[in-house]
Amino acid sequence: MLIALLLALPVHGLWRLFGRRSPWPPRFLGLVGRIVGARRRIVGTPLRHDVVFVANHLSWIDILLLSGATGTAFIAKAELRRAPLVGWLCTLNATIFVSRADRMAVTAQIAQLRDTLARDWPVTLFPEGTTGDGVTLLPFKAALLAALDPPPPGVRVQPVRIDYGPATHELAWVGDEPGQHHAARVLKRRGSFVATLHFAEPFAPADHGNRKAIATEARRRIEAL
């Protein structure tokens, strides 16, 4: 991982120096996904533009898989911004940090999400708000889907089911396990595993009314997978 980072950073810097959008953060994340043993399998056709992906959430490996497959930016909790190294790396991939405690900041966060979509970045939401066991979907939190109520012109929602197959019980980050413990457990695991990203049919959020209705429809489509 360190070698991959040291190789990717200078190239990324050159792209940014010339004012170009760099493809290297998602390429780096996709490579790290392979390093931790994930062999990505894609079912369905992911959109590339004007899309908000809505996915179930099993662990931080989801970010490696989705970024490598689609080049997406992510919405993440504000605490991650302060994490050594990881927080800085997140900023390189246009991460939108949100505070669960600061309700006054919601308007600004929605504006940032709309701005990211306007710059033609796919954006991924994990509406469960935490990681689950990969078997049961948790309730969806619809607050940030307010950015789609009303939606920017042309933007669609594409639900995604993430599945680690037989390795799910080993890799899902469930409960109060500290992040460093989970990371160590993943890195100690021998061999590889197939991680399926199942992209459902996208839908126009304007056809489903408000943010709660959008969240309900996205959840229904993921649950059906």
Q: From CA 127, how far away is CA 12, in angstroms rounded?
A: 30
Per-residue pLDDT 10s for the chain (225 aa) are 999 999 999 999 898 888 788 889 999 999 999 999 999 999 999 999 999 999 999 999 999 999 999 999 998 877 778 888 788 888 888 888 877 666 556 677 778 888 888 888 899 999 998 898 888 999 998 887 888 888 888 999 999 999 999 999 999 998 888 888 999 999 999 999 999 999 999 999 999 888 999 999 999 999 999
Q: From CA 62, how far away is CA 85, in angstroms rounded?
A: 19
Quick one: DSSP state of residue 152?
P
The pTM of this model reads: 0.90
Dihedral of CA atoms 171, 175, 179, 181 in degrees, nearest 10, equals: -70
Domain ranges of the chain: 22-224
